[in-house]
Structure 1
Amino acid sequence: MNRWLLRAMTELSSRKFISRITGSFAKSPLSRRLIPRFAALYRIPVEEAEKPLSDYATLNEFFTRRLAPGRRIVDSTPDALVSPVDARVAACGPIENGLLLQVKGQDYSLDELLNGSPRTGQYRSGYYWVLYLSPTDYHRIHAPCGGEIVETEHIPGRVYPVNERGLTLMRRVLSRNERLITYLRHGGGEVAVVKVGALNVSSIKYAEPLPRVLERGQELAYFEFGSTVVLLTEDDTCLPLTTLQAGDQVRMGQLLGTLVADHTNTR
Protein backbone atom coordinates (compact mmCIF):
# COMPACT_ATOMS: atom_id res chain seq x y z
CA MET A 1 0.00 0.00 0.00
CA ASN A 2 1.55 3.32 -1.01
CA ARG A 3 2.19 6.22 1.35
CA TRP A 4 -0.48 8.46 -0.18
CA LEU A 5 -3.20 5.85 0.31
CA LEU A 6 -2.12 5.16 3.90
CA ARG A 7 -2.22 8.87 4.64
CA ALA A 8 -5.68 9.19 3.08
CA MET A 9 -7.02 6.26 5.13
CA THR A 10 -5.56 7.73 8.32
CA GLU A 11 -7.11 11.11 7.48
CA LEU A 12 -10.54 9.53 7.05
CA SER A 13 -10.34 7.49 10.23
CA SER A 14 -9.05 10.38 12.39
CA ARG A 15 -12.37 12.10 12.90
CA LYS A 16 -13.62 13.59 16.15
CA PHE A 17 -16.92 11.70 15.99
CA ILE A 18 -15.04 8.37 15.99
CA SER A 19 -13.23 9.37 19.18
CA ARG A 20 -16.53 10.50 20.71
CA ILE A 21 -18.20 7.17 19.90
CA THR A 22 -15.24 5.24 21.28
CA GLY A 23 -15.19 7.41 24.40
CA SER A 24 -18.94 7.02 24.99
CA PHE A 25 -18.70 3.24 24.80
CA ALA A 26 -15.62 3.14 27.07
CA LYS A 27 -17.59 5.08 29.71
CA SER A 28 -20.66 2.83 29.50
CA PRO A 29 -21.31 -0.14 31.84
CA LEU A 30 -21.28 -2.39 28.73
CA SER A 31 -17.53 -1.85 28.42
CA ARG A 32 -16.83 -3.39 31.82
CA ARG A 33 -16.73 -6.93 30.45
CA LEU A 34 -13.85 -5.94 28.15
CA ILE A 35 -11.51 -4.92 30.98
CA PRO A 36 -9.86 -8.35 31.56
CA ARG A 37 -9.42 -8.89 27.82
CA PHE A 38 -8.02 -5.39 27.34
CA ALA A 39 -5.57 -5.85 30.21
CA ALA A 40 -4.40 -9.20 28.84
CA LEU A 41 -4.13 -7.95 25.23
CA TYR A 42 -1.85 -5.05 26.19
CA ARG A 43 -0.06 -6.93 28.98
CA ILE A 44 -0.95 -4.29 31.52
CA PRO A 45 0.63 -4.95 34.94
CA VAL A 46 -2.69 -5.11 36.80
CA GLU A 47 -0.92 -5.73 40.11
CA GLU A 48 0.17 -2.06 40.03
CA ALA A 49 -3.40 -0.75 39.89
CA GLU A 50 -5.00 0.93 42.87
CA LYS A 51 -7.93 -1.52 42.80
CA PRO A 52 -8.59 -5.07 41.54
CA LEU A 53 -10.04 -5.36 38.00
CA SER A 54 -13.47 -6.32 39.31
CA ASP A 55 -13.81 -2.96 41.10
CA TYR A 56 -13.67 -0.87 37.90
CA ALA A 57 -17.14 -0.03 36.59
CA THR A 58 -16.10 0.87 33.01
CA LEU A 59 -13.18 0.43 30.63
CA ASN A 60 -12.49 4.17 30.85
CA GLU A 61 -12.33 4.00 34.64
CA PHE A 62 -9.76 1.21 34.38
CA PHE A 63 -7.79 3.00 31.67
CA THR A 64 -7.51 6.18 33.75
CA ARG A 65 -6.69 4.18 36.89
CA ARG A 66 -4.43 5.43 39.62
CA LEU A 67 -1.59 3.26 40.86
CA ALA A 68 -1.31 1.63 44.24
CA PRO A 69 0.79 3.69 46.71
CA GLY A 70 4.53 3.23 46.32
CA ARG A 71 4.43 1.93 42.74
CA ARG A 72 6.40 4.91 41.42
CA ILE A 73 9.37 6.56 43.07
CA VAL A 74 9.82 10.26 42.33
CA ASP A 75 13.51 11.15 42.10
CA SER A 76 14.53 13.17 45.13
CA THR A 77 17.66 14.75 43.61
CA PRO A 78 17.66 18.49 44.42
CA ASP A 79 16.32 20.52 41.46
CA ALA A 80 15.41 17.31 39.59
CA LEU A 81 13.26 17.44 36.47
CA VAL A 82 11.43 14.12 36.22
CA SER A 83 9.31 12.34 33.66
CA PRO A 84 5.66 13.34 34.08
CA VAL A 85 4.49 10.00 32.65
CA ASP A 86 5.24 6.35 31.96
CA ALA A 87 6.25 6.45 28.30
CA ARG A 88 8.68 5.71 25.51
CA VAL A 89 10.94 8.59 24.50
CA ALA A 90 9.96 9.20 20.87
CA ALA A 91 12.50 12.02 20.53
CA CYS A 92 14.53 14.42 22.66
CA GLY A 93 17.14 17.08 22.13
CA PRO A 94 17.97 20.78 22.16
CA ILE A 95 15.49 23.22 20.66
CA GLU A 96 17.38 25.03 17.92
CA ASN A 97 16.18 28.49 16.94
CA GLY A 98 12.60 27.61 17.83
CA LEU A 99 12.59 24.20 16.13
CA LEU A 100 12.23 20.69 17.54
CA LEU A 101 14.46 18.88 15.05
CA GLN A 102 13.91 15.45 13.54
CA VAL A 103 10.93 14.18 15.50
CA LYS A 104 10.34 11.02 13.42
CA GLY A 105 11.84 12.74 10.39
CA GLN A 106 9.99 16.04 10.78
CA ASP A 107 10.92 19.40 12.28
CA TYR A 108 8.35 21.11 14.51
CA SER A 109 8.00 24.83 15.06
CA LEU A 110 7.49 26.02 18.63
CA ASP A 111 5.19 28.75 17.30
CA GLU A 112 2.82 26.10 15.93
CA LEU A 113 3.16 23.70 18.87
CA LEU A 114 2.39 26.46 21.39
CA ASN A 115 -0.25 28.08 19.17
CA GLY A 116 1.59 31.38 18.80
CA SER A 117 1.84 31.94 22.56
CA PRO A 118 3.85 35.02 23.61
CA ARG A 119 5.77 32.63 25.89
CA THR A 120 7.28 30.89 22.84
CA GLY A 121 10.37 33.10 22.87
CA GLN A 122 11.37 31.77 26.29
CA TYR A 123 11.87 28.26 24.86
CA ARG A 124 13.61 28.94 21.54
CA SER A 125 16.93 27.49 22.72
CA GLY A 126 15.66 25.20 25.45
CA TYR A 127 15.31 21.41 25.51
CA TYR A 128 12.47 19.04 24.62
CA TRP A 129 11.27 15.49 25.24
CA VAL A 130 8.49 13.81 23.23
CA LEU A 131 7.00 11.10 25.47
CA TYR A 132 4.64 8.58 23.85
CA LEU A 133 2.14 6.67 26.00
CA SER A 134 1.00 3.34 24.54
CA PRO A 135 -2.24 1.62 25.65
CA THR A 136 -0.10 -0.48 28.01
CA ASP A 137 1.06 2.54 29.99
CA TYR A 138 -0.31 4.21 33.09
CA HIS A 139 -2.12 7.31 31.78
CA ARG A 140 -2.01 9.83 34.59
CA ILE A 141 0.24 12.88 34.10
CA HIS A 142 2.24 14.35 36.97
CA ALA A 143 4.18 17.54 37.63
CA PRO A 144 7.76 17.20 36.31
CA CYS A 145 8.97 19.63 38.98
CA GLY A 146 7.58 21.62 41.85
CA GLY A 147 6.14 24.98 40.94
CA GLU A 148 3.20 27.28 40.33
CA ILE A 149 0.80 26.97 37.40
CA VAL A 150 1.05 30.37 35.72
CA GLU A 151 -1.03 29.69 32.59
CA THR A 152 -3.07 26.99 30.89
CA GLU A 153 -4.35 26.82 27.33
CA HIS A 154 -6.66 24.44 25.49
CA ILE A 155 -6.07 24.28 21.73
CA PRO A 156 -8.74 22.49 19.67
CA GLY A 157 -7.44 20.30 16.87
CA ARG A 158 -7.42 16.96 15.11
CA VAL A 159 -7.06 13.47 16.57
CA TYR A 160 -4.44 11.84 14.36
CA PRO A 161 -2.70 8.79 15.85
CA VAL A 162 0.49 9.69 17.70
CA ASN A 163 2.17 6.28 17.53
CA GLU A 164 5.29 5.81 15.41
CA ARG A 165 3.33 5.31 12.21
CA GLY A 166 1.17 8.37 12.82
CA LEU A 167 4.13 10.63 13.62
CA THR A 168 6.02 9.39 10.57
CA LEU A 169 3.16 9.21 8.06
CA MET A 170 1.14 12.35 8.83
CA ARG A 171 2.44 15.91 8.67
CA ARG A 172 3.09 17.83 11.93
CA VAL A 173 0.78 15.70 14.06
CA LEU A 174 1.97 17.15 17.37
CA SER A 175 1.09 20.71 16.36
CA ARG A 176 -2.19 19.86 14.58
CA ASN A 177 -3.82 17.62 17.18
CA GLU A 178 -5.82 18.87 20.15
CA ARG A 179 -3.55 20.09 22.96
CA LEU A 180 -3.81 21.08 26.59
CA ILE A 181 -0.80 23.13 27.73
CA THR A 182 0.29 23.84 31.30
CA TYR A 183 3.03 26.38 32.01
CA LEU A 184 4.66 25.68 35.36
CA ARG A 185 6.97 28.24 37.01
CA HIS A 186 9.78 26.80 39.16
CA GLY A 187 12.66 28.43 41.06
CA GLY A 188 14.91 28.83 38.04
CA GLY A 189 12.47 29.36 35.21
CA GLU A 190 9.51 27.67 33.57
CA VAL A 191 8.51 24.39 31.92
CA ALA A 192 5.69 23.74 29.45
CA VAL A 193 3.81 20.44 29.69
CA VAL A 194 2.08 19.97 26.32
CA LYS A 195 -0.51 17.18 26.44
CA VAL A 196 -1.38 16.05 22.91
CA GLY A 197 -4.67 14.30 22.15
CA ALA A 198 -4.90 11.42 19.70
CA LEU A 199 -7.17 8.96 17.94
CA ASN A 200 -9.64 7.45 20.45
CA VAL A 201 -8.63 9.96 23.14
CA SER A 202 -12.06 11.25 24.03
CA SER A 203 -10.60 13.95 26.27
CA ILE A 204 -7.62 15.27 28.22
CA LYS A 205 -8.64 16.28 31.73
CA TYR A 206 -7.04 18.08 34.62
CA ALA A 207 -7.00 16.41 38.01
CA GLU A 208 -9.68 17.68 40.39
CA PRO A 209 -9.15 19.60 42.51
CA LEU A 210 -6.13 21.07 40.77
CA PRO A 211 -4.02 23.23 43.11
CA ARG A 212 -2.25 26.32 41.81
CA VAL A 213 1.06 25.14 43.32
CA LEU A 214 2.22 21.59 42.68
CA GLU A 215 4.89 19.43 44.23
CA ARG A 216 7.18 17.36 42.03
CA GLY A 217 5.32 14.17 41.09
CA GLN A 218 1.89 15.48 42.11
CA GLU A 219 -0.99 14.53 39.82
CA LEU A 220 -1.67 17.12 37.12
CA ALA A 221 -3.94 15.58 34.47
CA TYR A 222 -4.83 12.37 32.64
CA PHE A 223 -5.55 11.00 29.18
CA GLU A 224 -8.55 8.91 28.23
CA PHE A 225 -6.70 6.45 25.95
CA GLY A 226 -3.12 6.67 24.66
CA SER A 227 -1.37 9.83 23.63
CA THR A 228 1.80 11.95 23.97
CA VAL A 229 3.31 14.57 26.25
CA VAL A 230 5.84 17.09 24.92
CA LEU A 231 7.89 18.52 27.77
CA LEU A 232 9.76 21.79 27.14
CA THR A 233 12.27 23.68 29.28
CA GLU A 234 13.22 27.32 28.86
CA ASP A 235 16.56 28.47 27.49
CA ASP A 236 19.51 27.64 29.78
CA THR A 237 17.36 26.30 32.63
CA CYS A 238 18.05 22.55 32.44
CA LEU A 239 21.00 20.20 32.21
CA PRO A 240 19.45 17.12 30.54
CA LEU A 241 20.67 13.59 31.10
CA THR A 242 22.96 12.77 28.18
CA THR A 243 22.36 9.03 28.59
CA LEU A 244 18.66 9.21 27.71
CA GLN A 245 17.92 8.56 24.03
CA ALA A 246 15.01 8.10 21.66
CA GLY A 247 13.55 4.64 22.10
CA ASP A 248 14.23 4.46 25.85
CA GLN A 249 11.40 3.67 28.24
CA VAL A 250 10.88 5.98 31.21
CA ARG A 251 8.62 5.83 34.23
CA MET A 252 6.86 8.65 35.98
CA GLY A 253 9.26 10.18 38.49
CA GLN A 254 12.41 9.07 36.66
CA LEU A 255 15.14 11.70 36.34
CA LEU A 256 15.30 13.52 32.98
CA GLY A 257 17.68 16.30 33.96
CA THR A 258 18.61 18.91 36.55
CA LEU A 259 17.04 22.35 36.69
CA VAL A 260 19.44 25.27 37.02
CA ALA A 261 18.44 27.39 40.01
CA ASP A 262 19.96 30.60 38.56
CA HIS A 263 19.98 30.14 34.81
CA THR A 264 21.56 33.55 34.19
CA ASN A 265 24.86 32.00 35.30
CA THR A 266 24.79 29.49 32.41
CA ARG A 267 24.64 32.05 29.63
Structure 2
Amino acid sequence: MKKALYQFLIELTNKRWSSILLKKFVQSRLSQKCIPSYMKVYEIDSNEIEHEISYYPSLHEFFTRRLREGVREIQGGEKQFVSPVDGTLAEAGTVTPNLMMQVKGKDYSIQEMLGNEEIAKKYVGGSFLVLYLSPANYHRIHSPIKAAVEKRWELGLHSYPVNEYGLKYGRETLSKNYRSITELKHKGGDMLLVKVGAMFVNSIHYTNDHHHWNKGDEIGYFTFGSTVILFFEKGTFHFNDDLSVPTPIKMGKIIGQMKRG
Protein backbone atom coordinates (compact mmCIF):
# COMPACT_ATOMS: atom_id res chain seq x y z
CA MET A 1 0.00 0.00 0.00
CA LYS A 2 2.76 2.46 0.97
CA LYS A 3 4.73 1.69 -2.18
CA ALA A 4 1.67 2.32 -4.35
CA LEU A 5 1.14 5.66 -2.60
CA TYR A 6 4.76 6.73 -3.08
CA GLN A 7 4.68 5.68 -6.72
CA PHE A 8 1.55 7.74 -7.30
CA LEU A 9 2.93 10.80 -5.55
CA ILE A 10 6.48 10.76 -6.85
CA GLU A 11 6.45 8.87 -10.13
CA LEU A 12 3.06 9.62 -11.65
CA THR A 13 1.88 13.01 -10.40
CA ASN A 14 2.10 15.70 -13.08
CA LYS A 15 -0.81 18.10 -12.66
CA ARG A 16 0.30 21.61 -11.73
CA TRP A 17 -1.82 21.85 -8.56
CA SER A 18 -0.83 18.43 -7.23
CA SER A 19 2.84 19.01 -8.04
CA ILE A 20 2.81 22.30 -6.13
CA LEU A 21 1.17 20.66 -3.10
CA LEU A 22 3.57 17.72 -3.18
CA LYS A 23 6.56 20.03 -3.51
CA LYS A 24 5.47 22.01 -0.44
CA PHE A 25 4.95 18.84 1.57
CA VAL A 26 8.27 17.13 0.74
CA GLN A 27 10.15 20.35 1.57
CA SER A 28 8.39 20.69 4.94
CA ARG A 29 9.48 19.25 8.28
CA LEU A 30 6.30 17.20 8.36
CA SER A 31 7.72 15.00 5.62
CA GLN A 32 10.72 14.04 7.78
CA LYS A 33 8.56 11.37 9.44
CA CYS A 34 8.16 9.68 6.05
CA ILE A 35 11.89 9.06 5.59
CA PRO A 36 12.11 5.70 7.46
CA SER A 37 9.14 4.21 5.57
CA TYR A 38 10.45 5.66 2.30
CA MET A 39 13.78 3.91 2.87
CA LYS A 40 12.02 0.65 3.69
CA VAL A 41 9.69 0.78 0.68
CA TYR A 42 12.54 1.45 -1.77
CA GLU A 43 15.11 -0.71 0.05
CA ILE A 44 17.64 2.10 0.36
CA ASP A 45 20.94 1.02 1.92
CA SER A 46 21.56 3.19 4.99
CA ASN A 47 25.28 2.29 4.85
CA GLU A 48 25.65 4.34 1.66
CA ILE A 49 24.09 7.55 2.99
CA GLU A 50 26.39 10.41 4.02
CA HIS A 51 24.52 11.20 7.27
CA GLU A 52 22.19 9.59 9.79
CA ILE A 53 18.47 9.81 8.97
CA SER A 54 17.90 12.38 11.72
CA TYR A 55 20.21 14.79 9.89
CA TYR A 56 17.72 15.31 7.04
CA PRO A 57 15.00 17.86 7.93
CA SER A 58 12.67 16.84 5.08
CA LEU A 59 12.03 14.16 2.49
CA HIS A 60 13.38 16.54 -0.14
CA GLU A 61 16.71 16.87 1.67
CA PHE A 62 16.90 13.09 2.00
CA PHE A 63 15.98 12.58 -1.65
CA THR A 64 18.84 14.83 -2.80
CA ARG A 65 21.28 13.24 -0.33
CA ARG A 66 24.96 12.70 -1.01
CA LEU A 67 26.70 9.36 -0.55
CA ARG A 68 29.38 8.44 1.93
CA GLU A 69 32.87 8.97 0.61
CA GLY A 70 34.24 5.87 -1.10
CA VAL A 71 30.99 3.96 -1.71
CA ARG A 72 31.24 4.58 -5.48
CA GLU A 73 34.40 3.82 -7.44
CA ILE A 74 35.13 5.88 -10.55
CA GLN A 75 36.35 3.06 -12.79
CA GLY A 76 38.71 2.98 -15.76
CA GLY A 77 41.20 5.40 -17.23
CA GLU A 78 40.98 8.63 -19.20
CA LYS A 79 39.48 6.87 -22.25
CA GLN A 80 36.67 5.07 -20.45
CA PHE A 81 33.27 6.74 -19.98
CA VAL A 82 31.41 6.02 -16.76
CA SER A 83 27.76 6.22 -15.82
CA PRO A 84 26.97 9.73 -14.55
CA VAL A 85 24.18 8.42 -12.27
CA ASP A 86 22.81 5.50 -10.31
CA GLY A 87 19.82 4.02 -12.13
CA THR A 88 18.82 1.64 -14.88
CA LEU A 89 20.50 1.57 -18.27
CA ALA A 90 17.17 1.38 -20.06
CA GLU A 91 18.18 1.71 -23.72
CA ALA A 92 21.21 1.94 -26.02
CA GLY A 93 21.17 2.51 -29.75
CA THR A 94 22.16 4.58 -32.77
CA VAL A 95 20.78 7.92 -33.95
CA THR A 96 19.18 7.40 -37.38
CA PRO A 97 19.83 9.55 -40.49
CA ASN A 98 16.43 11.21 -40.01
CA LEU A 99 17.47 12.33 -36.50
CA MET A 100 15.43 9.77 -34.56
CA MET A 101 16.14 7.53 -31.57
CA GLN A 102 13.97 4.64 -30.39
CA VAL A 103 13.12 4.09 -26.71
CA LYS A 104 10.61 1.47 -25.48
CA GLY A 105 9.48 0.96 -29.08
CA LYS A 106 8.73 4.66 -29.60
CA ASP A 107 10.55 7.05 -31.91
CA TYR A 108 11.82 10.36 -30.56
CA SER A 109 13.08 13.27 -32.63
CA ILE A 110 16.46 14.37 -31.31
CA GLN A 111 16.06 17.62 -33.23
CA GLU A 112 12.97 18.37 -31.13
CA MET A 113 14.71 17.12 -28.00
CA LEU A 114 17.73 19.36 -28.55
CA GLY A 115 15.89 22.28 -30.17
CA ASN A 116 18.69 22.71 -32.69
CA GLU A 117 18.93 20.94 -36.06
CA GLU A 118 22.61 21.78 -36.58
CA ILE A 119 23.64 20.23 -33.25
CA ALA A 120 21.34 17.24 -33.80
CA LYS A 121 22.97 16.47 -37.17
CA LYS A 122 26.36 16.17 -35.47
CA TYR A 123 25.14 13.01 -33.74
CA VAL A 124 23.67 11.16 -36.76
CA GLY A 125 25.10 7.63 -36.75
CA GLY A 126 26.38 8.14 -33.23
CA SER A 127 25.44 6.26 -30.07
CA PHE A 128 22.89 7.14 -27.43
CA LEU A 129 22.27 5.71 -23.95
CA VAL A 130 19.20 6.26 -21.76
CA LEU A 131 19.59 6.06 -17.98
CA TYR A 132 16.42 6.10 -15.85
CA LEU A 133 16.52 7.06 -12.17
CA SER A 134 13.80 5.65 -9.89
CA PRO A 135 12.82 7.12 -6.50
CA ALA A 136 15.10 4.51 -4.90
CA ASN A 137 18.22 5.86 -6.56
CA TYR A 138 20.87 8.34 -5.48
CA HIS A 139 19.98 11.47 -7.48
CA ARG A 140 23.25 13.35 -7.85
CA ILE A 141 24.66 13.69 -11.38
CA HIS A 142 28.37 13.34 -12.17
CA SER A 143 30.63 13.91 -15.16
CA PRO A 144 31.09 10.75 -17.29
CA ILE A 145 34.50 11.82 -18.60
CA LYS A 146 37.10 14.57 -18.30
CA ALA A 147 35.73 17.30 -20.54
CA ALA A 148 35.18 21.00 -21.19
CA VAL A 149 31.70 22.53 -21.18
CA GLU A 150 31.01 23.99 -24.61
CA LYS A 151 27.37 25.00 -24.25
CA ARG A 152 24.37 24.59 -21.97
CA TRP A 153 20.71 25.35 -22.62
CA GLU A 154 17.23 24.60 -21.31
CA LEU A 155 14.03 23.66 -23.14
CA GLY A 156 10.46 22.68 -22.23
CA LEU A 157 7.93 24.04 -19.76
CA HIS A 158 6.29 20.98 -18.19
CA SER A 159 7.43 17.61 -16.92
CA TYR A 160 5.47 14.37 -17.19
CA PRO A 161 6.40 10.94 -15.82
CA VAL A 162 9.56 9.35 -17.24
CA ASN A 163 9.22 6.02 -15.47
CA GLU A 164 8.60 2.81 -17.44
CA TYR A 165 4.91 3.61 -17.95
CA GLY A 166 5.55 7.23 -18.80
CA LEU A 167 8.09 6.24 -21.46
CA LYS A 168 5.81 3.57 -22.89
CA TYR A 169 2.49 5.42 -22.87
CA GLY A 170 3.39 9.11 -22.55
CA ARG A 171 3.49 11.53 -25.46
CA GLU A 172 7.16 12.04 -26.37
CA THR A 173 8.14 12.75 -22.78
CA LEU A 174 11.88 12.65 -23.48
CA SER A 175 11.67 15.30 -26.21
CA LYS A 176 8.97 17.53 -24.65
CA ASN A 177 9.63 17.51 -20.89
CA TYR A 178 11.65 20.26 -19.25
CA ARG A 179 15.27 19.40 -20.04
CA SER A 180 18.70 20.87 -19.48
CA ILE A 181 21.32 20.02 -22.09
CA THR A 182 25.09 20.28 -21.84
CA GLU A 183 27.44 19.80 -24.79
CA LEU A 184 30.90 18.61 -23.77
CA LYS A 185 34.21 18.37 -25.60
CA HIS A 186 36.41 15.50 -24.47
CA LYS A 187 39.67 14.10 -25.79
CA GLY A 188 37.95 12.03 -28.48
CA GLY A 189 35.21 14.40 -29.68
CA ASP A 190 31.91 15.93 -28.59
CA MET A 191 29.06 14.47 -26.56
CA LEU A 192 25.76 15.60 -25.06
CA LEU A 193 24.52 15.14 -21.51
CA VAL A 194 20.73 15.60 -21.55
CA LYS A 195 18.98 15.84 -18.17
CA VAL A 196 15.20 15.31 -18.44
CA GLY A 197 12.91 16.56 -15.68
CA ALA A 198 10.17 14.29 -14.33
CA MET A 199 7.81 16.49 -12.34
CA PHE A 200 8.51 20.11 -11.51
CA VAL A 201 9.76 22.76 -13.90
CA ASN A 202 13.36 23.45 -12.93
CA SER A 203 13.70 20.12 -11.15
CA ILE A 204 17.35 20.00 -12.28
CA HIS A 205 19.81 21.94 -10.14
CA TYR A 206 23.51 22.55 -10.84
CA THR A 207 26.20 22.47 -8.17
CA ASN A 208 29.20 22.90 -10.49
CA ASP A 209 29.69 26.02 -12.63
CA HIS A 210 33.25 25.21 -13.68
CA HIS A 211 34.11 25.21 -17.38
CA HIS A 212 36.24 22.06 -17.02
CA TRP A 213 34.89 18.86 -15.45
CA ASN A 214 36.99 16.00 -14.20
CA LYS A 215 35.66 12.47 -14.57
CA GLY A 216 33.38 11.71 -11.62
CA ASP A 217 32.93 15.35 -10.54
CA GLU A 218 29.48 16.13 -9.15
CA ILE A 219 27.70 18.54 -11.49
CA GLY A 220 24.16 18.72 -10.07
CA TYR A 221 21.12 16.81 -8.89
CA PHE A 222 17.51 15.98 -9.72
CA THR A 223 14.83 17.12 -7.29
CA PHE A 224 12.74 14.05 -8.24
CA GLY A 225 13.19 10.86 -10.28
CA SER A 226 14.21 11.47 -13.85
CA THR A 227 16.29 10.45 -16.86
CA VAL A 228 19.71 11.15 -18.34
CA ILE A 229 20.41 10.67 -22.05
CA LEU A 230 23.96 10.57 -23.40
CA PHE A 231 24.77 11.18 -27.07
CA PHE A 232 28.15 10.49 -28.69
CA GLU A 233 29.36 11.55 -32.13
CA LYS A 234 29.71 8.79 -34.71
CA GLY A 235 32.98 6.90 -34.39
CA THR A 236 33.83 8.22 -30.93
CA PHE A 237 32.23 5.67 -28.59
CA HIS A 238 32.24 1.88 -28.19
CA PHE A 239 29.58 0.48 -25.84
CA ASN A 240 30.82 -1.74 -23.01
CA ASP A 241 30.19 -5.29 -24.28
CA ASP A 242 29.88 -6.55 -20.70
CA LEU A 243 26.64 -4.60 -20.22
CA SER A 244 23.18 -5.74 -21.24
CA VAL A 245 20.08 -3.60 -21.71
CA PRO A 246 18.13 -3.08 -19.53
CA THR A 247 20.36 -3.42 -16.48
CA PRO A 248 20.86 -1.66 -13.13
CA ILE A 249 23.96 0.51 -13.05
CA LYS A 250 25.88 2.53 -10.48
CA MET A 251 27.52 5.90 -10.91
CA GLY A 252 31.19 5.42 -11.82
CA LYS A 253 30.76 2.08 -13.62
CA ILE A 254 32.31 1.90 -17.11
CA ILE A 255 29.71 2.26 -19.86
CA GLY A 256 32.02 2.50 -22.86
CA GLN A 257 35.37 3.23 -24.42
CA MET A 258 36.64 6.21 -26.38
CA LYS A 259 37.38 5.21 -29.98
CA ARG A 260 39.75 8.02 -30.73
CA GLY A 261 41.74 10.62 -28.85
Residue matched to 1:109: 109
Q: For the residues of structure 1 that align with 2:16 and 2:117, how far apart are their CA atoms?
A: 25
Residue matched to 2:9: none
Residue matched to 2:100: 99
Residue matched to 2:6: none
Residue matched to 1:27: 27
Structure 2 counterparts to residues 1-267 of structure 1, below 5 A: 14-97=14-97, 98-101=99-102, 103-116=103-116, 118-199=118-199, 203-207=203-207, 209-262=208-261
Moved beyond 6 Å, runs of 4+: none
Identity across the alignment (%):
39
What is the Cα-based RMSD across aligned positions, in Å? 1.7
Equivalent residues, number: 249
SS of match in other structure, 1:107? strand
Q: Deviations over 1:38-59 (max 9, x none)?
A: 1111111121011010111111
The answer to whether the Cα contact below 8 Å between 2:89 and 2:248 also exists between their aligned partners in 1 is yes
User: Unmatched 5+ residue regions in structure 1?
Assistant: 1-11, 263-267
Q: For the residues of structure 1 that align with 2:134 and 2:201, how far apart are their CA atoms?
A: 12
Aligned partner of 2:36: which letter?
Answer: P
Aligned partner of 1:188: which letter?
Answer: G
Which stretch of structure 1 is more off in the superposition, 222-231 or 194-203?
194-203
Aligned partner of 1:69: which letter?
Answer: E
The answer to whether the Cα contact below 8 Å between 1:201 and 1:227 also exists between their aligned partners in 2 is no
The answer to whether the Cα contact below 8 Å between 2:178 and 2:202 also exists between their aligned partners in 1 is no
User: Unmatched 5+ residue regions in structure 2?
Assistant: 1-11
Q: Deviations over 1:1-36 (max 9, x none)?
A: xxxxxxxxxxx9522343232222211122111111
Gap change, CA 1:200 and 1:119, over 3 Å in 2: closer
The answer to whether the Cα contact below 8 Å between 1:135 and 1:226 also exists between their aligned partners in 2 is yes
Q: Deviations over 1:127-184 (max 9, x none)?
A: 0111000011000010011111111111123221111111111121100111011111
After TM superposition, the score normalised by the length of structure 1 is 0.88
Shift of the alpha carbon at 1:200? 5.8
The answer to whether the Cα contact below 8 Å between 1:19 and 1:202 also exists between their aligned partners in 2 is no
